[in-house]
Structure 1
Amino acid sequence: MGWTQDYTPLGNNLLLSSLAALIPILYFFWALAIKRMKGHTAGSTTLLITVVLAIFIYGMPAEKAVMSATQGAVYGLLPIGWIIVTSVFLYKLTVKTGQFEVIRSSVLSITDDRRLQALLIAFSFGAFLEGAAGFGAPVAISAALLVGLGFNPLYAAGICLIANTAPVAFGAIGIPIIAVEGPTGIPALEISKMVGRQLPFLSIFIPFYLIVMMSGFRRSLEVLPAILVSGISFAITQYLSSNFLGPELPDILSAIISLVALAIFLKFWKPKRIFKFAHEKETAAGQEARQLNSDKQTHSGGQVFKAWLPFLLLTVLVSIWGIPSMKNALTGHYTGDNPFLLFINEIGGRLSFAPRVPFLDNQVIDSSGKTIEALYKLDLLGSAGTAILLAAVLAKFVTAVSWKEWGAVLTDTLKELKKPVLTIATVVGFAYVVNSSGMSTTLGMSLATTGTMFSFFSPVLGWLGVFITGSDTSANLLFGSLQKVTASSVGMEPILAVAANSSGGVTGKMISPQSIAVACAAVGLTGKESDLLRFTLKHSLFLLFLVCLITFLQHHLFSWMIP
């Protein structure tokens, strides 16, 4: 029996209904930021409260609310949880075999400065992984690398979450922008152009912002040349590729050019003072520095290449998995005539399952009268986590570790990540219930009532959508049409509003419950999710304000920037 969403269940009063819809979100913030609950406890209780509200306030049948939660939980396990498990496993494998010490030394051979290491790994390398894979892999891998270099785990996770802001809108081969073309009818290339005229401003600013956050304004000026090389090379490439090539490649191209440009620059330029964290200052100029110099001399080029090879294999495989035609073949949806891809398609089809969610599939009706499809999507071969696992299998042969040791590291990783994966499953379940019950639409409708100020508040919808769903793609699908319709009604260019949804969404990624859970899992901070949220929240709000301001100015003063 079908059930129609009601976006104003409390007496057709949008304000009261919005306050009700805010309860789970406010509770989650309170549980983590104030009460400091462990992540799995906060996630589980938030999910429970959301289901109760969906049933008793929004009138959603109990079986549909519960099954919606299970749909989200399954998605939290695959692909998201799978990516986290395999990413952490690969990192631990390099540590177990001693290869990470060589990796650490190779990074230090470029620079001992913690500020510049953050730019290389958190900003540039993380952006590459975002463009190739998305879904938590960038933060998981880059944060683990920083921890291995000696960064405080909480600090490493926070830095990587904030650095990940710049590339999110074009993540996973441009999927967030490609996806929103459908519900809005605006060509993806046009949306890409508009996003590419907003985010480059953040891309220039974020490297500087990261370094100021790490070392203060005065000490950030010491490495300003490197910051400019990193940010400007990224931003220019992001603008050119998004405006002339489309949404698929801006992250990958920008990250590669930024990474290479900074690495080359650092061969010819060094800061006058090497920045270390407070607990490192006593030894930075003495024995540790001499030991590091000794390490740099003992590792040959071949040893360094061998140590990095597992991550190079990961990069290649994740990139291959992200190619649209390959992705379709891996999930059994390839329709071309390439014999190799047809062979992969046959295997992928057998390993991809999409059973319908009982009591939910096509039984929830939105305001337009359309039924909403609900499937458990189990793409075993197509998940980026499988590409990472394959990299770990190949790394077994590169590092010459025995299968017994390989299996032991995998077992330890699975044991360690039980609670983080539970956290991810519960918070994604919460997101799905919020969406299927209509709560998220209620909140979107409230922001749409801001009238002439909508050009300022438009990015807030994207920020809210990414906080709820953990995905810029989902936020665009959730609010893209609402942005377009509302913009038309208030005299704003629809393409600007749709782009602002994606650009605003990137600032919500760092506080999304599933992003927080992923980051904590990657650096071994299970149970410390509240500390990480407190770390990132203020930065999320500040960067959101900047995107709101950019959108407002583009609407009122710089309309010539709109394609």
Structure 2
Amino acid sequence: MYTQNLPLDSVGWSALVAAVPLITVLVLLGVFRWKAQWAGLAALVVALAVALFAYGMPVGQTFNAAGFGAANSVIAVLWITFNAIWIYNLTVDTGHFAVLRRAFTAISDDRRIQAIVIAFSFGALMEALAGGGSPIAICAVMLIAAGFAPLKAATIALLANTAPVAFGGMGNPVTILGSVTGLNPDDLGAMAGRQAPLLAVLVPFLLVGIADGPRAIKQVWPAALTAGVAFAGTQFVLANFWDYKLCDIFAALVSAGAVVALNRVWQPSGAERAPGTPPVIAGGSVDHDPVAERRAGRPEGGDSRADIFTSFAPYLIVVVLFSLAQIGPIKAWLAHGTSQFGWPGLHIQDSAGHPVSTVFSVAWASTPGTLLFLSGILTAVLLRVRPAKAIRVYGATIRQFGWAIFTILCVFALSYVMNFSGQITTLGVWLAQTGAFFAFLSPLVGWFGVAVTGTDAGSNALFGGLQLTAAHQLGASPVLFGAANTSGGVLAKMISPQNLAIGTAAVGAVGAEGTLFRKVFGWSMAMLLLLCVIVYLQSTAVLGWMVVGG
């Protein structure tokens, strides 16, 4: 039995030791421009060394913790991402993606407007249903098709993915936070709905600025404001007055609809035109090749209604399946398809003598990855893709990620070594000693959690209990601190090594993770600072009226 402990008598010095792995990965990515796979591996090695030599964790359990984390990454990220990109690749292979791109172009031929609709609204819908990096990968490729350079497309997709993450995956981060803390998840969702939307209003403006520089904000601000306010307002209403699990689905649809409606009565100046439709294949061969025709566009112009519907149908399938999976009887039936077992050789307790859960659980029937896999099968049937061809596309999808798979395995192994050895707890205890100022730092705790795990749900699982303990010690609202953890976590999504790896893999720029990190890190810190100020004011009389139950 390994008991978590402080490596040094001083909490401050212990926290510095515990932070070394996280500092390692950030410095190697941002300063030395290492590729994500080597930065992740180096940080994992450092975390293993800290666990072994500073915390005295047994060798077997240390490496077992790494294996536990790597195994979790397969279910939590890879299984989801592979299937989401498989669906996308099936649409590319059949030419329907080109039809989808032209459908978005029909909304507006200004690619800045397209960036809002694709990355912000459509990306939020993907995050609501699947998460796991799939919105980043799918939207980045769609933005390239709209005319953006690969790294700029990845930057926009990463930044846009901040707005919906707190309620992503059908509200999974909030649900997990409730289970960890014992607090009512509806209260936590309502409180997060009074924090995250304040940032969501700003995101479309940032996207437009990145897409075309500061001048674009002046030219396109009505669309950015419409999208931001529509999304944030819907998020707030759903989180506080209906069901936090449905926040992002409706927010995404309402924001997209609002931009489409605005575009009918207003057009931006200085339009950044998307690239034109590729010329039709010469010699009339298009007439005999439906796939080529969909890719190039019909000679007579415009896509048929059937092709347009079919291009959107894969995502409609995803929406329907995920919605059905939330219906009571179906959800209960799917829950039976869960396998779990205690991970062999891991026996851990915290400093108070309470056992740390090392149960490996696979909800193989209800996990988003399985639902996406089923969606992919239905998509292949709908698009009339032969089974052998669908399998070949799946194999190509896995090969597409290459080193990104290794990166994700390393990052998850790193997070679980830090968690099981007690490094994460040490950092949390140190931050909790800041007293009333912890209200300012509480989003930072969630930010650190996502920076390490790559997921808001993972951060809430790691730090939810810490936020609850700190709130009780300080006599503050546990709902406020809990929500701050999930709201703060979303702002690290864009700088997490695993999401950087997914973004670069999707746009064919594997190895450029360091460059991408530097492009988004400043935005991550700026919005985190703003959120820290908001949460601090919510802990005082200034904005205390916003706190649920306060």
Q: Would you say 1:313 and 2:317 are equivalent positions?
A: yes
Q: 1:142 to 1:328 in 2, by over 3 A?
A: farther
Q: 1:195 to 1:213 in 2, by over 3 A?
A: same
Q: Find the residue that maps to 1:299 and give its secondary structure.
A: coil
Match for residue 239 of structure 1 among 231, 236, 241: 236
Match for residue 139 of structure 1 among 136, 141, 158: 136
Q: Would you say 1:72 and 2:69 are equivalent positions?
A: yes
1:473: how far off? 1.9
CA contact (8 A) 1:226 1:262 kept: yes
Consecutive unaligned residues of structure 2, counting only runs of 5 or more, are: 281-294
Q: Find the residue that maps to 1:377 and give its secondary structure.
A: strand
CA contact (8 A) 1:462 1:502 kept: yes
The CA deviation string for residues 107-164 of structure 1, in whole angstroms up to 9 with x for no partner, is 1111121211111111111112222222222222222322333322222222122111
Q: Find the residue that maps to 2:365 and give its secondary structure.
A: coil
The amino acid of 1:501's aligned partner reads N
Task: Give 1:366's aligned residue.
Answer: 350
1:433: how far off? 0.7
1:491: how far off? 4.5
Structure-2 separation of matches of 1:117 and 1:357: 46
Q: 1:20 to 1:324 in 2, by over 3 A?
A: farther
Q: Would you say 1:302 and 2:306 are equivalent positions?
A: yes
User: Normalized against structure 2, the TM-score is what?
Assistant: 0.91
The amino acid of 2:207's aligned partner reads L
The CA deviation string for residues 77-100 of structure 1, in whole angstroms up to 9 with x for no partner, is 123111221222222221122111
Task: Give 2:543's aligned residue.
Answer: 558
Task: Give 2:481's aligned residue.
Answer: 497
Q: 1:441 to 1:422 in 2, by over 3 A?
A: same
The CA deviation string for residues 527-563 of structure 1, in whole angstroms up to 9 with x for no partner, is 2222221221111111100100111222221211112
1:66: how far off? 0.7
Match for residue 119 of structure 1 among 116, 120, 134: 116
The amino acid of 1:9's aligned partner reads P
1:404: how far off? 3.2
Task: Give 1:527's aligned residue.
Answer: 511
Aligned residues: 532
CA contact (8 A) 2:446 2:487 kept: yes
Task: Give 2:24's aligned residue.
Answer: 27
Q: 1:541 to 1:86 in 2, by over 3 A?
A: same
The amino acid of 1:355's aligned partner reads F
Structure-1 separation of matches of 2:354 and 2:73: 26
Match for residue 7 of structure 2 among 6, 9, 27: 9
Percent of matched pairs sharing the same residue: 37
Q: 1:454 to 1:82 in 2, by over 3 A?
A: same
Task: Give 2:94's aligned residue.
Answer: 97
Match for residue 343 of structure 2 among 335, 347, 357: 357
1:472: how far off? 1.6
1:209: how far off? 2.0
Q: Which moved more, 1:368-377 or 1:154-163?
A: 368-377
CA contact (8 A) 2:24 2:42 kept: no
Structure-1 separation of matches of 2:530 and 2:299: 43
CA contact (8 A) 1:466 1:505 kept: yes
Q: Would you say 1:43 and 2:40 are equivalent positions?
A: yes
Structure-2 separation of matches of 1:253 and 1:276: 29
The CA deviation string for residues 425-469 of structure 1, in whole angstroms up to 9 with x for no partner, is 111111111111110111111211222322211111111111112
Task: Give 2:373's aligned residue.
Answer: 389
Structure-2 separation of matches of 1:86 and 1:59: 40
The amino acid of 2:490's aligned partner reads V
Q: Find the residue that maps to 2:358 and give its secondary structure.
A: coil
Q: Find the residue that maps to 1:257 and give its secondary structure.
A: helix
CA contact (8 A) 2:459 2:489 kept: yes
Q: 1:524 to 1:377 in 2, by over 3 A?
A: farther
CA contact (8 A) 1:459 1:544 kept: yes
The CA deviation string for residues 344-381 of structure 1, in whole angstroms up to 9 with x for no partner, is xxxx3xxx432321111xx1101332212213333333
Match for residue 250 of structure 2 among 253, 262, 268: 253
The CA deviation string for residues 287-337 of structure 1, in whole angstroms up to 9 with x for no partner, is 9xxx999889321222211222223223322443455654443341xxxxx
Structure-2 separation of matches of 1:54 and 1:322: 40
Q: 1:44 to 1:268 in 2, by over 3 A?
A: same
1:101: how far off? 1.4
Supply the RMSD in Å over aligned alpha carbons: 2.4
Match for residue 128 of structure 1 among 121, 125, 128: 125
Q: 1:52 to 1:320 in 2, by over 3 A?
A: farther
1:239: how far off? 0.9
Match for residue 444 of structure 1 among 412, 417, 428: 428
Q: 1:149 to 1:317 in 2, by over 3 A?
A: farther
Structure-2 separation of matches of 1:468 and 1:443: 13
The amino acid of 1:356's aligned partner reads G
Structure-1 separation of matches of 2:213 and 2:205: 10
CA contact (8 A) 2:400 2:506 kept: no
CA contact (8 A) 2:85 2:134 kept: no
CA contact (8 A) 1:104 1:149 kept: yes
Q: Which moved more, 1:473-482 or 1:429-438?
A: 473-482
Q: Which moved more, 1:140-149 or 1:510-519?
A: 140-149
Q: 1:298 to 1:193 in 2, by over 3 A?
A: closer
Structure-2 separation of matches of 1:411 and 1:98: 19
CA contact (8 A) 2:401 2:502 kept: no
CA contact (8 A) 1:105 1:292 kept: no
Alignment of 1:49-64 (within 5 A): 49-64=46-61
Match for residue 169 of structure 2 among 156, 169, 172: 172
The amino acid of 1:525's aligned partner reads A
Structure-1 separation of matches of 2:411 and 2:39: 9
Task: Give 1:407's aligned residue.
Answer: 391
CA contact (8 A) 2:348 2:420 kept: yes
Q: Which moved more, 1:485-494 or 1:416-425?
A: 485-494
Q: Would you say 1:195 and 2:192 are equivalent positions?
A: yes
CA contact (8 A) 2:238 2:246 kept: yes
Q: Find the residue that maps to 1:59 and give its secondary structure.
A: coil
Q: Would you say 1:218 and 2:215 are equivalent positions?
A: yes
Alignment of 1:454-533 (within 5 A): 454-533=438-517
User: Normalized against structure 1, the TM-score is what?
Assistant: 0.89
1:523: how far off? 2.5
CA contact (8 A) 2:454 2:497 kept: yes
Q: 1:354 to 1:513 in 2, by over 3 A?
A: same
Structure-2 separation of matches of 1:78 and 1:296: 46
Structure-2 separation of matches of 1:369 and 1:257: 49
Structure-1 separation of matches of 2:200 and 2:113: 16
